[in-house]
Amino acid sequence: MKKYLLTPGPTPLPDEVRKALALPIIHHRTPEFQKIFIRVNEGLKYLFQTQNDIFTFAGSGTAAMEAAVVNLLSANDTAIAVCGGKFGERWREICQAYNVKVISIDVEWGKAVEPAEIKRLLAEHKETKAVFTTLCETSTGVTNDIKTIAEIVKASPAALVVDAVSGLGAEELQTDKWGVDCVVAGSQKAMMLPPGLSFCSISPKARKAIESSKLPKYYFDLRKAKKALDKSDTTFTPPVSLIVALAEALDLIKKEGLENVFKRHKIMAESARGALLALGFKLFSETFCNVVTAAYTPEGIDSTQLVKLLRDKYGVSIANGQEQFKGKLIRLAHLGYIQPSDIITGISAIEKALSELGYKVESKKSVHAAERIFDNYFKGAKK
């Protein structure tokens, strides 16, 4: 059965990336690898929209989240964490694991954080060393207003750390222009790669924090990593195949152009929303994101059953709700190597599966809704 991956990570791989993954392994301390690594670091700067250093680790997205915490902070430091979903909560958990005092902003799931709340807390807690937040909260399908948050944090001594694991390459994030000190990313989302790489960018302000940080670290020590990076080298053995594939993925992003990449994601998200609404789903959040659409299943439909039927019978993988929303929400992802035909396939399968589960749907209405949005897009895109 042909399989369709419409989950918020991992995501499908372009052929160029899959071919690169199949190449023979080369040694990492060679001019050949160094050349690729230099190309990768240039490409990452384009994607992150920054001139800052970007560090690459072997590990899932959470690895770079942990790297940010252990490199910027010391035990008993104060940090603010925006917790509006599973991934925001992860910031709090990592901080707590290292005895960092966390002030959490508990945002209702499905809502974006009020930047004014960050401003208020920073004024009240002048000792705050870092603010941790999320670009796209993948568990709820919400985008936070990082631009406004950055303006606020910039005026304080704290460093702004943004989890853009799912958002980078799907949603606008101007690292340098907005002034984000540390952007965390992962390979298996909009970067069109398998899981296994994670990244963090470090601004001059974040670099200062690194100098005084006392939390324990070894693999993630960015002081050592910086010495290696300055020689276009890595501290330890990098996942060679993933780096080679990353060079290809970054070339594809460059070729399409970031602006077009964002536009494509926006259209995919719009069509997914339009189609799900036509099917009787209710959107979960008010501030949509271009990464994933979270929606309540229609009356009487259990999302766990729906997700299973889609996967087993139609080969279409989408995600269930997380935590308290398991069984109630679906999360239809539209990030990375995704084009209109993928969305149409997914929507058509959802329509069939709903009807099999006993929910009355008006045949093809949802597919038409998605197609209408695509038609408008392609009309505008024609040369």
Ligand X SMILES: *Cc1c(COP(=O)(O)O)cnc(C)c1O
Which residues of this protein are in contact with ligand X, per CB under 6 A? Answer: 8-9, 60-62, 87, 134, 138, 163, 165-166, 186
DSSP letter at 177? I
In the complex with ligand X, the residue whose CB is nearer, 146 or 369, is 146
Supply the minimum distance, in Å, between the C-beta of residue 62 and ligand X.
Answer: 3
In the complex with ligand X, the residue whose CB is nearer, 62 or 345, is 62
- Please state, in angstroms and as integers, the Cα–Cα distance from residue 68 to each residue in 33, 166, 183, following that order: 26, 17, 9
Supply the minimum distance, in Å, between the C-beta of residue 87 and ligand X.
Answer: 4
- What's the distance, Cα to Cα, between the start and end of the chain in Å? 36
Supply the minimum distance, in Å, between the C-beta of residue 187 and ligand X.
Answer: 8
Supply the minimum distance, in Å, between the C-beta of residue 188 and ligand X.
Answer: 6
How does strand 282-283 pair with strand 292-296? antiparallel
Q: Are 132 and 81 in contact (CB under 8 A)?
A: yes
In the complex with ligand X, the residue whose CB is nearer, 161 or 222, is 161
Tokens representing 42 are 């240039």
The DSSP annotation for 72-114 comes to H--TT-EEEEEESSHHHHHHHHHHHHTT-EEEEEEPPTTS---
Tokens representing 321 are 């709700």
Using alpha carbons, select from 188, 196, 180 the residue that is nearest to residue 57. Answer: 196
Q: Give the residue ranges of DSSP H helices in 170-236.
A: 204-212, 222-229
In the complex with ligand X, the residue whose CB is nearer, 40 or 197, is 197
| C-alpha to C-alpha distance for 323 and 109, rounded to whole angstroms | 11
Supply the minimum distance, in Å, between the C-beta of residue 133 and ligand X.
Answer: 10
In the complex with ligand X, the residue whose CB is nearer, 160 or 279, is 160
In the complex with ligand X, the residue whose CB is nearer, 9 or 340, is 9
Supply the minimum distance, in Å, between the C-beta of residue 173 and ligand X.
Answer: 12
Burial annotation 222-252 (CB, 10 A radius, 16+ → b, else e): beebeeebeeeebbeebbbbbbbbbbbbbbe
| Residue 28 one-letter amino acid | H
Supply the minimum distance, in Å, between the C-beta of residue 306 and ligand X.
Answer: 21
| C-alpha to C-alpha distance for 315 and 170, rounded to whole angstroms | 24
In the complex with ligand X, the residue whose CB is nearer, 82 or 165, is 165
Supply the minimum distance, in Å, between the C-beta of residue 278 and ligand X.
Answer: 27
Residue whose C-beta lies closest to ligand X: 61
In the complex with ligand X, the residue whose CB is nearer, 61 or 280, is 61
